[in-house]
């Protein structure tokens, strides 16, 4: 009789352990899926053509036009960002409607800091056909400040300038080089 109770208890314990084991495996599987989802973008967009406008005295003025073949939205992360893995074409318009274009092979926009990181053949071409070229460029949208630590070339009306790193306002009026590398004069 005692043997019979021992056998029943062993069977119950084995059943309980097997049940717990399989339920833990399912929960662990669900946990793994959540981890994957958190590392994936919350949204994807293809062939985007975003237009940024502002209202001035009952009229709408186009400020910028962002074009990209792909955008990945990682706003589900603790430090949210949007990634443009195939690069961007950004057309920025001043108050007179004159256009400056900015291109790069890769871009990432950090939502919380308002920093845009442009990488790979970054080119800024103004309406006066002046051209700045570098491999990486940061833009602080809030402060309207541009900076890089990479080598750059700036073809301006006054001549060609080169250097390693710079800080500047968005209009290049408060331009400060980190290292000088060319023959030119800034008339700011």
Q: Mean per-residue pLDDT for 128-134?
A: 93
Which fold, 43-180? Answer: lipopolysaccharide transport protein A fold (2.60.450)
d(CA 32, CA 128): 54
d(CA 77, CA 108): 14
The label of the residue with tokens 């662990």 reads 28
Query: At residue 118, does pLDDT exceed 90?
Result: yes
Q: pLDDT tens digit string along 48-105? A: 999 988 888 888 888 889 999 999 999 988 889 999 999 999 998 888 889 999 999 9
Q: Which pLDDT does position 40 carry in this prediction?
A: 87
d(CA 69, CA 89): 10
Q: Which two tokens stand for residue 164?
A: 């390693």
Q: pLDDT tens digit string along 1-43? A: 566 655 566 665 566 555 555 555 555 555 545 555 667 899 9
Task: Give domain limits for the chain.
Answer: 1-39, 43-180
d(CA 147, CA 154): 14
The label of the residue with tokens 């590398």 reads 181
């Amino acid at each position: 009789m005692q043997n019979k109770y021992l056998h029943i208890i062993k069977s119950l314990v084995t059943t309980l352990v097997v049940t717990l084991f399989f339920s833990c495996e399912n929960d662990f599987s669900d946990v793994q899926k959540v981890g994957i989802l958190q590392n994936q973008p919350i949204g994807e967009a293809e062939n985007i053509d975003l237009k940024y406008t502002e209202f001035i005295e009952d009229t709408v003025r186009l400020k910028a036009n962002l074009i990209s073949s792909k955008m990945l939205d990682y706003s589900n992360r603790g430090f949210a960002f949007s990634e443009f893995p195939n690069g961007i074409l950004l057309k920025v318009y001043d108050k007179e409607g004159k256009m400056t274009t900015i291109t790069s092979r890769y871009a990432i926009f950090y939502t919380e800091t308002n920093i845009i990181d442009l990488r790979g053949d970054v080119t800024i071409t103004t309406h006066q056909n002046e051209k700045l070229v570098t491999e990486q460029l940061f833009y602080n949208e809030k402060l309207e400040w541009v900076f890089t630590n990479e080598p750059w070339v700036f073809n301006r009306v006054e001549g060609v300038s080169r250097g390693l790193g710079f800080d500047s306002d968005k209009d290049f009026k408060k331009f400060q080089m980190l290292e000088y590398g060319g023959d030119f004069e800034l008339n700011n």
